Each structure stands twice: as structure tokens, then as C-alpha cells.
Amino acid sequence: MLKKQEWFESEEFWKNYGPIMFDGSHWAEAPGIAEAVCKIAGLKEGSKILDAGCGPGRVAVEFALLGLDVTGVDLIQSELDAAKETADAENVSLKLVKADLREYTTDEKFDCAVNLYTSFGYCDSIEDDLKILKRICATLKDDGFFILECTSREIAVQYFTEGEWFERAGKTVLTEFSVDGAWEGLRSKWILIDNNTGRRIEHEFVQRLYSAVELKRMMLASGFKTAEIYGDFDFAPYNQNAKTMVIIARK
């Protein structure tokens, strides 16, 4: 039986929505995030890092600029091509691998792995999400770090909005958000209207929402010895003021 293709496996989706999701403000954040990860994990020139779900290389290239040995894994070839193009422009080297994180294996062992910018929680099942965590854990050296940053259930509840609209990358973007189940997921509908041609496309997807404690337990069940929860990359408390969730785990 053929495996069902999930929306995030579609090259066409990323061709249309990649420039919207990875806008200039997110690229501008990348150097600071890379430096924070290096500080957290004690990485130095030559340290090996895995960017699990690297996308267009937003942070992977910054790691390389800091002298790290970087491997970026992503399912979408066009995103890997974009990462290579950026790396070439910056005159740095990335090892880029096209693979599904649910199945990714390597003999290489990393000092640190990252999964950033809410790149987790989109699989059809919790079991598949667990597979990703276990696969990432298996790639790490003993005492290696895994840093995951994403929107938690608590953050989604606190900052929930039913939608917004804005202009970006030559398009008018309309978003509609709703709750899936008993806050088990956040359903997002993105409508893009090309400002020149008027062409309209739309896409709807669900991000599974985990509480911070749920994700911590999943990490511990996936082989990590410890997992600590913070509200940013500077170890801010994960409390009512947190704008994101950062979990720092050790193998």
C-alpha cells in the first residue's frame, strides 16, 4: 500500500509558502539564535551539529559561519537547494541530506542537534512525532544536546487570534486560525493572493499542540537523560511572560 503523502512533503507547498513563512525578519533572527545555541551547548569551531528540519538554511548557514561542522536534513529538495545557494553565497560548506526525520539514520554522531522555528508536531500521529525524537536522540554523542523550539499548547492558548492579514513577498496573506479538538491542535488556513495577477491559493493544516510538560516526558521516553524547559534561548522562565518554548535536552 502506498504511503499517504503529508502536506509538508509537497514541493509545491514550499514553493508557494516558503517565501511567506521565512521572511526577512526571521532571517534577521538567525545569527542571534545560532550564537545562543553555541553558548547553551558549549559548541566551538569544528563541533558537529545537526539541523533537523533545516529548511532553506536560515540557521544552518549561521552555524557554518561560526565554524561548526553542519549537517542539515530536510524532506524537501527545493529547500535544500535554497540552503546550498545561501551557503555558497556566504562561502561556507553544509552537508545537506534529503531524508524524512522519522526514518533518518547516520553513523555520524553529533555534539548537538536542533529543531527550530516550530518545525515539530505536523505528523499525522503522536507515534510519528516520537519516532522523530528517538531518531534525533540516536544521532547524538553521549551527553550531546538537543534544542527544540516551538509553539506549545500554553503559548497557543495565551496568544490565540482568529486570524490576520498582511502584505509579504508580493502577496496579500490572509490567515484563519481555529482550535482542533480539545486544544489538541491548532488549525491554520493560509490564503495567498498574488498582488499582480490576482491568483489565489489556499492551504489548511494542523499543528499538534503539546504542553511543555508533555514534550519533556516524550523526550525522556525517547532516550534523553534530562530535559529542561525555558521561555527563550537565554534561559528565561517558562511562565506567563514566555513568547515561545525552548526545551534543552541531554542524551
Would you list the domain boundaries of the chain? 7-152+211-250, 155-206
Q: What's the fold here for domain 155-206?
A: SH3 type barrels. (2.30.30)
Residues 99 and 75: beta-carbon distance below 8 Å: yes
Spans of the chain below 70 pLDDT: 1-27
Which residues, other chains included, contact 137 with Cβ-Cβ below 8 Å and sequence gap of 6+? 146, 219, 222, 223, 224, 251
7: DSSP letter: G
Q: For residue 171, which amino acid is it?
A: K
Q: Residue 97 has which C-alpha cell?
A: 541530506
pLDDT tens per residue, range 24-63: 566 688 999 999 999 999 999 999 999 999 988 989 999 9
Radius of gyration (C-alpha) of the chain in whole angstroms: 18
Question: Which CATH number does the domain 7-152+211-250 belong to among 3.40.50.150, 3.40.50.1220, 3.40.50.300, 3.40.50.620?
Answer: 3.40.50.150
Cβ-contact 133, 120 below 8 angstroms: no
Q: What is the DSSP letter of 101?
A: T
pLDDT of residue 11: 61
Strand order in the sheet with 110-115: 95-98, 69-74, 48-52, 110-115, 140-150, 245-250, 226-230
pLDDT at 1: 44
